[in-house]
A = this chain, B = another copy of it.
Amino acid sequence: MFLILYYDVNEKRCPKMLKTCRKYLKWVQNSVFEGELTKAKVEYLKKDIEKIIKEEDEDSVVIYQFRTLNYSKRDVVGYDKKNDSQFL
């Protein structure tokens, strides 16, 4: 499964979210992650996220799962930060 994950959470929780998401996926941009995960790992990731975020504070995490990328295209306008992530 290919995932695109983006979050919008309270600033206090950003470091923990960054650390958690980076265990599973690749950082591609502020608050945005991409990568391949098994179904089981997707569930673990969701559980880890649920421990961090506070819905009452309108913390929001969107996870798109794609069984195939055959029908998709990824374009970058400007600079592609995906290659920077090893510096984080």
**A74 and B64: CB pair below 8 A?**
yes
Whole-angstrom distance between the Cβ of A36 and the nearest chain B Cβ: 14
- Bound state CA distance, A58 and B83, in angstroms? 12
Neighbour of A62 across the interface among B64, B66, B67, B74, CB < 8 A: B74
Complex Cα–Cα for A75 and B76 (A)? 24
Q: Which residues of A contact B (CB under 8 A)?
A: 4, 6-9, 28-32, 46, 49-50, 53-55, 58-68, 70-82
Residues of B within 8 A of A53 (CB): 77-78
- What are 21 A-B contacts defined by CB distance under 8 Å? A6-B6, A28-B62, A29-B31, A29-B62, A30-B31, A31-B31, A46-B77, A49-B78, A53-B77, A58-B81, A59-B79, A60-B78, A60-B79, A63-B75, A63-B76, A65-B72, A65-B73, A66-B66, A66-B72, A67-B71, A70-B71
